[in-house]
Amino acid sequence: MDDLKEVEIRNLLKQLGLSSFEQKAYLCFLRNGSGLTAQEISTFAHIPLTRVYGVMKRLVKLRLVSTDKLGNPTRFNLENPTSALRFMLRKYLVKVDEESKKIEAELEKILMNLSVPNSVHRGWNIYEEEYDVKSLIPSLLASAKNEVLISDVSYQTFSEDFLEEFMLALDRGVTIKVLVSTNPSPGSNVPSALIEALEPAQQAKVAMHYWEKRLFMRKNGRGLAQFAIFDGLQVAYAVTSPRTAKYFATLLVETKETINEFYEDFHDAWDKAVELRPPTFQSIQK
């Protein structure tokens, strides 16, 4: 038996729960065979003689070794390694399975009684820092493939990255609907915030896209919360932070039931809104 195999066997025995001395003693039998005395085990395995009998008692209990046929406790025999180690493995797997079920039961018990102040539901992620909020929306725009619905977006959302991804989304054929409120939420100014933030070349491009009917705008009589829906799969929703009470925060929702509620709310308001053609667009075309 070479050194590499010994290392592998020791690692296995350790995983199965054998102590360092027990590992050494069992490897001693694999190297030297059966019929070893306590003194020989102590010498070959480098285990103090005073510890040998305790170690061997444990290996006998695990059925890895046995006393000789006459029951002489000073001489020990190696049991068939194939059957002995497989037996140990089966016992180990049963133990692991029982422990995992116990842990799972304890976890479920804890979760049932868990109460965390200002907790966020599963499928909801809170973004509270200004940098995170401003980078979140552009990344969602970049991943949109079909449709983006924007309701009363805050001026705080607009950034160079947002405008770039807004244009790129239109370029690849994504339909964007912007619902403007006549009673805007604090900090929102749509569409003028969007138009004023664009460079002249970008303004002309937006106008072109607008008349190609990829970009739609309507004016809504009732104020809606600030949110955006991306392909009906995600909603970025402006909220007050549940931890810091800071208004500048965004909740990213990915649960289908909640998304559907936002979707229905948006289209209900959209159907009741009127077409909006900002004068800025008309002046650009002249």
Structure tokens at 214: 């990829």
What is the pLDDT at residue 23? 92
| Side chain identity at residue 138, one-letter code | P
Can you tell me the distance from the alpha carbon of 147 to that of 234, in angstroms, rounded to the nearest whole number?
11
Query: How far apart, in whole angstroms, are the C-alpha atoms of residue 55 and residue 29?
Result: 13
Write out the two tokens for 207: 């106008």
Mapped onto helix, strand or coil, the DSSP state of residue 247 is: coil
Residue 153 CA to residue 191 CA, distance in Å, equals: 9
Rounded to whole angstroms, the Cα distance separating 141 from 169 reads 7
User: CA-to-CA distance for 29 and 52, rounded, in angstroms?
Assistant: 13
Using 50 as the pLDDT threshold, list the residues of the chain that sit under it: 116-120, 279-286
Specify the 3-state DSSP secondary structure of 276.
coil
Pairing of strands 249-253, 234-239: antiparallel
Contact in structure between 146 and 174 (CB atoms under 8 Å): yes
The β-bridge partners of 217 are 178
pLDDT tens, residue by residue, 163-183: 788 888 888 889 988 887 765
Q: Closest Cα partner for 37 from 77, 6, 3, 71?
A: 77
The confidence score (pLDDT) of residue 148 equals 92
Q: How confident is the model at residue 280, as a pLDDT?
A: 46
Distance of alpha carbon 175 from alpha carbon 163, whole angstroms: 15
**Burial of 181 from C-beta contacts in 10 A (0-12 / 13-18 / 19+):** buried
Domains, the chain, ordered by start? 3-88 (1.10.10.10), 124-285 (3.30.870.10)
| Block residue for tokens 């991804």 | 165
Helix-, strand-, coil-residue percentages of the chain, each rounded to 5: 50, 15, 30
DSSP string, 105-118: HHHHHHHHT---TT
Looking at residue 212, its pLDDT comes to 63
Alpha carbon distance 102, 234 (integer Å):
36
pLDDT value for 185: 54
Q: How far apart are CA 1 and CA 88, in angstroms?
A: 21
What is the pLDDT at residue 95? Answer: 86
Q: How far is CA 4 from CA 7, 8, 9, 64, 70, in A?
A: 5, 6, 9, 21, 36
Closest to 73 (Cα-Cα) out of 96, 47, 102, 39: 39
